[in-house]
Structure 1
Amino acid sequence: MKRKDFIKTTATFATATALVPLSSCKGDKEKVIKETEPLVVRKNWAGNYTYKAKNLYEPNTVEELQGLIKRLQTQKALGSCHCFNNIADSPLNQISTKNLKGVLGIDTESMTVTVGAGTKYGDFAPELHERGYAVHNLASLPHISVAGACATATHGSGVSNGNLATAVSGLELVSGNGDIIRLNREEDENMLYAAVVNLGALGIIAKVTLDIEKTFEVRQDVFQNLPLESLKENFDAILSGGYSVSLFTDWQDDLISQVWVKRKVDDQIEELGNDYFGAIAAERNLHPITELSSENCTEQMGVPGPWYDRLPHFKMGFTPSSGEELQSEFFVPKEMALAAILALEKRREEIYPQLMITEIRTIAADNLWMSPCYQQDCVAIHFTWKQNPKEVGELITMIEKELEPFEYRPHWGKLFSISPSILASRYEKLPEFIALCKKLDPDGKFKNDYLNLNIYS
């Protein structure tokens, strides 16, 4: 099956529309698009969702952000536009955090870095490395904003690595009445656990403080054609074979197309050889879809490099453009993951015609109230689809039905069709989270269609 249309990188189902450049997400150069002016069409990164908000504000300071929140009655934070549904939309006003960016300070005693909410991981990671530090993990793409990634529990990979939000040791957010709320792990641990994965419901994040560690190097080895039988027999060992491990499959045969093994470089590291549980070492750098160019992928072939240039699948220096894709992702408890994968394997004839690629990764348990990995180690099954909304919507519904016995939780920022009642039953802290939302946003300024359906209903 040809996949030439796959881009160089890689909830409620949203209707797909025509593509526009990523710059359209930014609106015009003014701080606000006024209601009296012609509406500037703005879409998300992939172009499948058109924002309905009429006004776009771009504050340059936290004080400006406070003023907007006090003045506006209905509003929503907008990050890097990488969500595939309406989580960041508003009936009337969006407030972009893109100008609230940059490294605001590194505390070498507490081992933390504080950044503006709109900062993208790719913006500050090289600087952090140059100063001798690192964050524990990164997502596949480094082009996502810190606040947005943490608010939706976006993740990297690794059996011992929590999602990106687990690195948050402090937050500064502006509540519905315009007050600044400052939280830190030492003094407000339980409140922080409630507020990090916030879905944009508690306020707008202004600053984020992240745990850091000493910088490290990573090598990346890729293997091809892992037999499905080997995955069945060695599932835990395969996914535990590196600091971060990703499996890629197109569901077309009894093989896992590729296994990406990322390992920290130290004196004890050993060569993996040419065989990884039956998968054969690649002879060149690969794209997750083998027939596509690996030009924009991070270096492989066991060549060591800094953490920020190996943990993502795609290079920091490559800015992704809009692309014809849709995404959905489902988290299942790690102990149920193999059975869940095998259940989907039986439906592969239906899946692969609409699929670009599936990635399977592990994420460690956390204590963040609204995280899909709340108090359970998870395996995430991620689908990158062709941008055919009707067909993909039907497949998502089918996949969720197959995953129902495995108590799946969808990624908050991607496409899903789970009923609100079932979704609510999967989050034991939801009633407490809603109570906190009402406390920090008593007038419902941050409510939108997404929250009304998936949280408040």
Structure 2
Amino acid sequence: MRTNWAGNHAYRAARLHRPTTLDELRAVVAAAPSLRALGSRHAFTAIADAGEQVVLDGLPADVMLDGDTVSFNAGLTYGELAEHLEGRAALHNLASLPHISVAGAIGTGTHGSGTGNLATAVRALELVTSDGEVVTARRGDPDFDGMVVHLGRLGVLTRLTLDTEPPFAVAQRVFEGLSWEALSEHFDALFSAAYSVSVFTRWKDVDMVWLKGRDALPETLYDATPATVERHPIIELDPVNCTAQLGRPGPWWDRLPHFRMGFTPSHGAEVQAEYLIPREHAVAAIQALRALTLPHLLVSEIRTIAADALWMSPAYGRDSVGLHFTLERVPVDGVLRAIEAALAPFDPRPHPGKLHLKPGTYERADDFETLAARLDPRGAFVAQA
């Protein structure tokens, strides 16, 4: 039985395909009555489930740098891609874990912190539609903004071209003991204090603020104090597998994530939920969440994400704040109901690959469904679970 990363979902797919050529993949896609692509399985919902599944790790990596772009097999993980880019190019941002597949992160609008979500780096894409045809699109093409965050609904994403920039160094510093008063009063300045800013909390106190800087990091942060030892986002845990802190600079790929590439993330111990709300409501939403009692919560993370134009991105059309919840792997519907009720006045959009009860509202949702009907007229990629 195949399960997702957390073990909270068992895939019902009766068959897993691992093609080794594009032609084999096209034949698989054209023949399957119900199909989804399976990446690194770091989704906590049934978004990757269908009657059959296909993985892309049998296809060549085929990484090609060309000027300020890199193209590659979309099934690569960010860690694998970074190995190919080492010393030659960099990406603008990474998620907390480098172990996730690029296609999966792009297809669900996954983000880092501060800049636009990871999907905003997509310059061009290639996917195989349900009739086995190869469709390509480039930034600026009609419907391109609807194809990037594809939710697994449009076809199998086979190849991506991403924007790159010259390699850069990042240093990371952790501050502890920030007051809620300081966070509320200085919210915008706080989240502009570094290239990437993450606040970790269990909602009683602010446990930590992680700053990742491409330039000099601040020595002070309001009423917080600099940590004198390295920290894990869950403060009681050993930080041995976290990326280096204490202001020591390192390459972009080894500082932008919270966790190092050279270890396997723990499986089965947690599930995750996340909601993006308009940035202007951040302080009010935080106050609403602080009023809750949230059993099974391991830690929450607060981050900011720039607005984008990708139709089904949770940050579509609005600068956003991501409110993330890492929970024990137990039934958590009651916790989700409480969180969603508290956030309801702020128009939350849940991360589609993480646990949630209610979908978000998207202005271009009807346009996306029209696009999906055109690219998948036989409904092979319609969600079945």
TM-score range, shorter chain: over 0.9
**Quick one: distance in 2 between partners of 1:413 and 1:195?**
17
**Equivalent position amino acid for 1:264 in 2:** R
> Contact 1:156 / 1:163 at 8 angstroms: preserved in 2?
yes
**Quick one: distance in 1 between partners of 2:63 and 2:253?**
19
Superposed counterparts of 1:78-89, under 5 Å? 78-89=38-49
> Contact 2:63 / 2:84 at 8 angstroms: preserved in 1?
no
Which of 136, 139, 158 aligns to 1:206? It is 158
Q: How far did 1:449 drift?
A: 2.9
Correspondence 1:50 to 2:6: no
> Contact 1:100 / 1:206 at 8 angstroms: preserved in 2?
no
> Contact 2:278 / 2:318 at 8 angstroms: preserved in 1?
yes
Q: How far did 1:272 drift?
A: 2.0
Which of 185, 201, 206 aligns to 1:233? It is 185
Which of 343, 355, 358 aligns to 2:297? It is 355
Aligned to 1:193: 145
Which of 203, 213, 221 aligns to 1:263? It is 213
> Contact 1:82 / 1:144 at 8 angstroms: preserved in 2?
yes
Aligned to 2:118: 164
> Contact 2:97 / 2:259 at 8 angstroms: preserved in 1?
yes
Aligned to 1:449: 384
**Quick one: distance in 1 between partners of 2:82 and 2:62?**
10
**Quick one: distance in 2 between partners of 1:129 and 1:335?**
38
Aligned to 1:178: 132
**Equivalent position amino acid for 1:235 in 2:** F
Which of 384, 399, 403 aligns to 2:326? It is 384
Q: Secondary structure at the match of 1:339?
A: helix
Provide Cα deviations, 1:110-145, integer angstroms capped at 9, x if missing partner. Answer: x100010110000021331322x1000000000011
Q: How far did 1:76 drift?
A: 1.0
Q: How far did 1:75 drift?
A: 1.1
**Quick one: distance in 2 between partners of 1:277 and 1:126?**
38
Q: CA RMSD in A?
A: 1.1
> Contact 1:103 / 1:124 at 8 angstroms: preserved in 2?
no
Correspondence 1:400 to 2:340: yes
Provide Cα deviations, 1:390-419, integer angstroms capped at 9, x if missing partner. Answer: xx210101110110100110000001111x
Superposed counterparts of 1:127-146, under 5 Å? 127-131=84-88, 133-146=89-102
**Equivalent position amino acid for 2:73 in 1:** G
**Quick one: distance in 2 between partners of 1:387 and 1:48?**
7
Q: How far did 1:101 drift?
A: 5.2
Correspondence 1:71 to 2:17: no
Provide Cα deviations, 1:361-404, integer angstroms capped at 9, x if missing partner. Answer: 00000000000111100000000001111xx2101011101101
Q: Identify unmatched segments of 5+ residues in structure 2.
A: none
Which of 59, 74, 99 aligns to 1:117? It is 74
Higher helix share: 1
Aligned to 2:258: 313
Deviation beyond 6 Å, 4+ runs, structure 1:
none
**Quick one: distance in 2 between partners of 1:155 and 1:260?**
16
**Quick one: distance in 1 between partners of 2:286 and 2:307?**
20
Aligned to 1:20: none
**Quick one: distance in 2 between partners of 1:119 and 1:151?**
13
Worse-superposed segment, 118-127 or 372-381 = 118-127
Which of 257, 270, 281 aligns to 1:325? It is 270
**Equivalent position amino acid for 2:252 in 1:** W
User: Percent of aligned pairs with the same residue?
Assistant: 48
Aligned to 2:54: 95
Correspondence 1:410 to 2:362: no
> Contact 1:100 / 1:117 at 8 angstroms: preserved in 2?
no
**Quick one: distance in 2 between partners of 1:102 and 1:262?**
30
**Equivalent position amino acid for 2:380 in 1:** K
Provide Cα deviations, 1:279-318, integer angstroms capped at 9, x if missing partner. Answer: 1100011101111111000000000000000000000111
Q: Secondary structure at the match of 1:218?
A: strand
**Quick one: distance in 2 between partners of 1:130 and 1:219?**
17
**Quick one: distance in 2 between partners of 1:75 and 1:126?**
30
Provide Cα deviations, 1:42-72, integer angstroms capped at 9, x if missing partner. Answer: 0000111100111111111211110111122
Q: Secondary structure at the match of 1:449?
A: coil
> Contact 2:38 / 2:55 at 8 angstroms: preserved in 1?
yes
Q: 1:94 to 1:370 in 2, by over 3 A?
A: same
**Quick one: distance in 2 between partners of 1:129 and 1:57?**
31
Aligned to 1:278: 223
Q: Secondary structure at the match of 2:82?
A: helix
Aligned to 1:105: 64
Q: Secondary structure at the match of 1:226?
A: coil
> Contact 1:79 / 1:145 at 8 angstroms: preserved in 2?
yes
> Contact 1:138 / 1:164 at 8 angstroms: preserved in 2?
yes
> Contact 1:120 / 1:145 at 8 angstroms: preserved in 2?
yes
Q: How far did 1:338 drift?
A: 1.1
> Contact 1:397 / 1:417 at 8 angstroms: preserved in 2?
yes
Q: Secondary structure at the match of 1:106?
A: strand
